[in-house]
A and B are shown apart, each in its own frame.
Chain A
Amino acid sequence: MYATAGYEQSVRNMTQTSLDTDNVFSDGYSLQLAAITGVVDTGMAATLNVPV
């Protein structure tokens, strides 16, 4: 995804952090990950349940 033109800086940033060490989302990201489908050419879709 981030190899797409325009997202170059994201590649570097992604290599520097992880969800396990992220100081916000490391506490339970399994419930916060959206399901991703699609292709970069035609568009992506993200879906997530938000139980509150």
Chain B
Amino acid sequence: MTHDDELHDHDRGLSHDLPMLSRRRTLTLFGGAGLAAALASCGIGSTDQSEAADSPSPSGTSGAGSTGAESETVTSSTGTEIPEETAGPYPGDGSNEVNVLTETGIVRSDITTSFGSASAIAVGVPLTITLTVLDVSSGSGPLAGAAVYLWHCDINGKYSLYSDGITQENYLRGVQETGSDGSVRFTSIFPAAYSDAGRTSTSRYTRAWRPPPQPAAGFAPHSWRSPRMAARSCTRPPATSRVCAT
């Protein structure tokens, strides 16, 4: 496949993709948490829908709309590895044309802005995203030093680097390294739900690279027909989106 060929071209490892984290020579990645699908589901499915309709402005002053809390809690098991998914068509990691991971400035917590020569800002309802990476192989304790790359679409369902009008922008993409508590926190905006060939609002993906000496496991398959693949060992450091085993 042409796409596979492209992947091989970019198979240069994490040290290439993430220079600021290169010393860790991280070995694994996890692709595609459907956070936004969850976010969207919560927003629309909640009982707050009617109140939200009464407050149509994201910066609304006050009123009935501001009193309804959007609250939904879904408890995740900490003992089971999170399913891996396709990284989707807009990874920006070199596996599909552009690679933002080599750009100085990608390591950041506030992803609402564009950096480098880009300047556009993503608008929308403010959203902080906290991800806590846990190490299943060691009792699901916090995994410190893991690199997490997060990206999602904007308020219009468009992705920086790829979508018409914002191909030169790189907002809503960022990398952070987990602290001792295994967590990273991003400042962002609530992504749109988009509709694309049977997809829900897959507005957000994350990838976490496990630092050595953890065993390699996992990859982000680039096949829409195989969205989920079991974690398998990699014999060499994978690139950010190379399928290392089948």
Question: Given A4-B55, A43-B128, A50-B82 in contact, is the A24-B199 Cβ separation under 8 Å?
Answer: yes
Other-chain contact of B127, A7, A24, A45 (Cβ < 8 Å): A45
The CA of A10 and the CA of B42, in the complex, are separated in Å by 13
Task: Find out whether the CB atom of A50 lies under 8 angstroms from the CB atom of B227.
Answer: no
Q: How far is the CB of A39 from chain B (nearest CB, A)?
A: 5
The CA of A34 and the CA of B157, in the complex, are separated in Å by 19
Task: Judge if B37 is at the interface, Cβ distance under 8 Å.
Answer: yes
The CA of A22 and the CA of B136, in the complex, are separated in Å by 26
Q: What chain B residues lie within 8 Å of A18 (beta carbons)?
A: 200
Task: Find out whether the CB atom of B143 lies under 8 angstroms from the CB atom of A32.
Answer: no
Q: What chain A residues lie within 8 Å of B143 (beta carbons)?
A: 52
- The interface centre, meaning the residue of B77, B88, B195, B208 with most chain A CB atoms within 10 A of its CB, is B195
Task: Judge if B111 is at the interface, Cβ distance under 8 Å.
Answer: no
The CA of A41 and the CA of B65, in the complex, are separated in Å by 8
Q: What chain A residues lie within 8 Å of B19 (beta carbons)?
A: none
Task: Find out whether the CB atom of A43 lies under 8 angstroms from the CB atom of B127.
Answer: yes
Q: How far is the CB of A1 from chain B (nearest CB, A)?
A: 3
Task: Find out whether the CB atom of B79 lies under 8 angstroms from the CB atom of A51.
Answer: yes
Task: Find out whether the CB atom of B85 lies under 8 angstroms from the CB atom of A46.
Answer: no
Nearest B residue to A1 by beta-carbon distance?
A: B43
Q: What chain B residues lie within 8 Å of A15 (beta carbons)?
A: 44
- Taking Cβ atoms with an 8 Å cutoff, the residues of A that contact B are 1-7, 9-19, 21-25, 27-52
